[in-house]
Amino acid sequence: MKKNLLAAAAICLFTNLGFSQARLVEKVEKKGSELVIPYEKYVFPNGLTLVVHEDNSDPIVHVDVTYHVGSAREEIKKSGFAHFFEHMMFQGSDNVGDEQHFKIVTAAGGTLNGSTNLDRTNYYETVPNNQLEKMLWLEADRMGFLLDAVTQKKFEVQRSTVKNERGQNYDNRPYGLVGEFTSKNLYPYGHPYSWLTIGYLEDLDRVDVNDLKKFFLRWYGPNNATLTIGGDVKAADVVKMVDKYFGSIPSGPAVEKTILPAVKLSGDRYASFTDNYARLPILSKTYPTVPNYDKDMGALSCLAQILGQGKNSILYQQMVKNQKAISASGFSRFNELAGEFSFQLTPFPGNSLATMDSLFKQSLLVFEKRGVTDEDIEKFKGGIEAQYINGLQSVSGKVSQLAAFNTFTGNPNMIGKLLDMYRSVTKEDVWRVYNQYIKDKPCVTISVLTKGQPVKPAAPDNYTIDTQNYTAPNYGYDGLKYTKAKDNFDRSKTPGNGANPVVKVPPFWKKDLPSGVKIIGTANNELPTVTISISIPGGHLAQAADTSKIGLAGMVADMLNEDTKKYTAEQMAVELQKLGSFISVSQTLDGISFNVQCLKKNVDKTLELLEEKMFSPNFTADAFNRLQKQSLEGFKQLKSQPAAIASTVIDKLNYGTGNILGLSDNGTESTVKRLSLKDVQDYYNNYMTSQGTKVVVVGDITEGEILPKLAFLNKLPNKKINLPNPAPAPAIEKTKIYLIDVPKAAQTEFRVSNVTGLKYDATGEYYKAGLMNFALGGAFNSRVNLNLREDKGWTYGARAGFAGDKYTGEYQFSSGIRANATDSALVEVMKELKNYAANGITGEELAFMKSAIGQQDALRYETGNQKAGFVGRILTYDLPANFVETQNKILASLTKKEADALAKKWINPDKMNILLVGDKAKILPGLQKLGYEIIELDIDGNRK
């Protein structure tokens, strides 16, 4: 690594582009094969830090603005404000209209979002490289020109949206409140980590628009922000643009680093709560540890892997493999001010939470007797190296790392230091942190109880939160003033586009083996990684002849992840972790898929393990019985989740109970109970074949290098597998409402759908229908999302679109809607569908769609997974090499008349199944007024 540190005093940057206020304070370049993200770091007079990373491998750019403010900067009784404010930052500013931020980025062919955690809030966009200046204009406008555009109406709509987000992700989800109960019992009252980022509903109701404005003025100054830009850019050009748009924004109040004493527990704390949605109780145990970047971080991460991650972990061996627990895991989390070491245990029926608590303590004693081994350290280091390398596949991944490092340490160049820290972990380090933070140390134990079931907590609640001895700090909100930048240019003018980037579709090679195996690949040497996917015909469709044993293909995939003749599942996991490799087996609609990810240097050893897994499975009764029991318990959990219920039952309504496409590939409790170990062996004997097997290879490896390494596939039996074609879906005579009752559900899950029969076609009517639907339900600025989320605040998000494969296709609207708005929302959904079918797309919407989709190519082929998906579709659907060119021609020539005809043909609101999963008591009276026939179903989708 070559690193130049430039003295801070009076060093200015001059370029051939003119004078800039920015000071170049650091430049890091890559040297040799070291793991480093090259960058230049600048500081502006207003305190803004700029980090630029040049990566010319793809014609894209990623922009990230990270503000050093998260929920840890909030006041007691005003929780959730940082996240709420993140929503407000998308609602327009002086020169960017309402709902225009998403629209401008989408029209540029880009993607965008924001996120808030305990310690920071960030906003980011990935766009074609010709759109950089426009992105900087957008971000600068909301940094310096937000408040006059904030209105009470926008405030109320976004407050409602955030409430829906809490309902969807916390209140309406099994175990969604475990973190909330843990935090308030672990940290002292008033500690900034004692509440979740989402906040409490009562606190959200308490704040007003003036609180929001103060929050902006206190924390959203350029001096509390890091602007990180990476991709196909030149640093000198970036500095000039940033200077123009951000340089004149006044600095905000000074922001000091928060320092708090470490959390100390005087004794074990037990707390419990009843979860309305959980069907299985769980036990959560959390120990306080250290903040991020602490010297013990690496050793604690290694300890978490040994105790609670993977089949070779202590908890898995002591609790899961012997069927005492359905799951048992441990993980270590580090934040800016504190860290946590947590365990989560789900008992098999018959084992109490008190038993889980006792078994957990016994497992720690087993670990103490076993100790830390050389193999533990070796596999930990192998996994960490692969994790860091794989995280650098995308420019967004690299930018995110640089932004976080600078925000929390002031040094973007931390990746090598962190990796060195992990590589230097010793057995003694791991043993020391276990003794220092876990062994005989008090922790917070949360018992999650299930409603209506005789479940007792692990121990009686014994802790009362002390709210008396708290003194609120001075957050510095007094006397804040809003001062806007003074410019020598017109900010109201949206910057134009640079020259369109030249997008290169990944070149690929194809090879058909004599055995019938078809291989496709594309080489990419940006990172020394290789990804391989092998799909063997079978899967869910193979069960169509005997639907009494649906779930068999999934069970076969699970068993292929277990023991082989040479290795136990635990031994296989160890060998893969040492290599930093990953092999998983899963079922698909029409196959069993073997998925591989590894470092190039370890390809040979990884493929040896894949060959063993594929050709020498050892299907044992112990593994089968355990997996069968876990699957049966899993059905209970799925039936507690409204979204899972809706997604399963809508297929049954659309395709019928006798159609394989209407049956969940997970099966049902009755079908899984019928499975036997012989069924698994018979499936393996009957469906392992070379004919129709498809292989996708992506990464730092050529055709000539990989083909000899895949020669073992020739050992697959050469036999023809005939998968049945699914039966046609039943016709829908008229639109009806199907209602499933989930008492006290905070939201109603919507599915409005029908079977179109439109199979996937990259250049046919399926592709054109997708273009047509973009304005209705295919983007953030689509009609359904703007109506239900941005205008009404009834949902966290709404979407509608076509889905298709080789066998069939359907159209579906989906969303989670606030319960008390269910009837009104359904009226709006059906109104939008009917209006679009009758009147079609507007000229403005057509132009927006063409602009958005026409520029997306720059973002489509960056990562290994994206390239694999691209070439995989070519192989699966036998697409011509130039199909993307054909798509672009179709896009460019699509007229309003053609789009309107497609809408009228394929969107049929008078013949759809409406499925609503929610609280019947709340929503039925309103639905009865709408005039639809209402049919009540149980949670399995059967008529009551």
Q: Residue 8 has what pLDDT?
A: 35
Give every residue of the chain whose pLDDT is below 70, as ranges: 1-20
The number of CA neighbours under 13 Å toward the Cβ of 528 is 12
Cα–Cα distance between 596 and 15 in angstroms, integer?
47
- Angle formed by the axes of helices 883-893 and 765-777, nearest 10°: 50
Q: What are phi and psi of 49, to 5 degrees?
A: -100, 130
HEC letters along 1-65: CEEEECCCCCCCCEECCEECCCEEEEEEECCCCCCCCCEEEEECCCCCEEEEEECCCCCEEEEEE
Cα–Cα distance between 931 and 943 in angstroms, integer?
20
pLDDT tens track for 796-826? 999 999 999 999 999 999 999 999 999 999 9
CB 240 within 8 A of CB 18: yes
Neighbours of 431 (CB within 10 A): 17
Instruction: Tell which residue, 724, 727, 403, 472, has the closest CA to residue 590.
Output: 724
CB 579 within 8 A of CB 605: yes
3-class DSSP assignment, residue 357: helix
Measured over the CA atoms of residue 699, residue 702, residue 708 and residue 710, the dihedral's sign is positive
Q: Which helix (H) or strand (E) holds 644?
A: helix 642-655
**CA distance to 174, 240, 343, 358, 448, per residue, from 455 (Å):** 16, 64, 20, 16, 9
Strand-pairing partners, residue 694, are 518, 535
The one-character DSSP state at 109 is T
CA–chain centroid gap for 115, Å, is 12
Neighbours of 853 (CB within 10 A): 20
Instruction: Tell which residue, 651, 533, 542, 590, has the closest CA to residue 807.
Output: 590
Strand-pairing partners, residue 585, are 594
R_g over Cα of the chain: 28
CA–chain centroid gap for 872, Å, is 22
Q: Residue 597 has what pLDDT?
A: 94
CB 825 within 8 A of CB 750: yes
Cα–Cα distance between 665 and 538 in angstroms, integer?
12
Domains of the chain: 37-246 (3.30.830.10), 269-394+409-450 (3.30.830.10), 509-715 (3.30.830.10), 736-937 (3.30.830.10)
Neighbours of 375 (CB within 10 A): 13
Cα–Cα distance between 652 and 661 in angstroms, integer?
8
Instruction: Tell which residue, 106, 867, 59, has the closest CA to residue 395.
Output: 59
Give the pair of three-digit tokens for residue 941: 């989708």
Angle at alpha carbon of residue 462, lines to 456 and 463, rounded to 5°: 125
Pairing outcome for strands 913-918 and 736-741: parallel
Q: What are phi and psi of 854, to 5 degrees?
A: -65, -20
Altogether, the residues listed in the chain come to a count of 944
DSSP 673-701: HH--HHHHHHHHHHH--STT-EEEEEES-
Instruction: Tell which residue, 660, 448, 654, 643, has the closest CA to residue 552.
Output: 660
Gap between the terminal Cα atoms of the chain: 69
- Angle formed by the axes of helices 896-906 and 822-839, nearest 10°: 130
Mention every residue, 6+ apart, whose C-beta is less than 8 A from residue 261: none
Cα–Cα distance between 141 and 495 in angstroms, integer?
12
Q: Residue 20 has what pLDDT?
A: 62
pLDDT tens track for 303-332? 999 999 999 999 999 999 999 999 999 999
Cα–Cα distance between 252 and 219 in angstroms, integer?
7
CB 27 within 8 A of CB 4: yes
Cα–Cα distance between 40 and 28 in angstroms, integer?
6
**CA distance to 215, 619, 708, 716, 855, per residue, from 711 (Å):** 62, 25, 5, 10, 40
For residue 234, the one-letter residue type is K
The one-character DSSP state at 596 is E
Cα–Cα distance between 555 and 676 in angstroms, integer?
10
DSSP 162-222: HHHHHIIIIITSTTTTHHHHHHHHHSPTT-TTSS-TT--HHHHHH--HHHHHHHHHHH-SG
Neighbours of 499 (CB within 10 A): 7
For residue 86, the one-letter residue type is E
Q: Which helix (H) or strand (E) holds 271?
A: strand 269-275
CB 934 within 8 A of CB 739: yes
The one-character DSSP state at 600 is G
**CA distance to 495, 686, 695, per residue, from 534 (Å):** 46, 18, 4
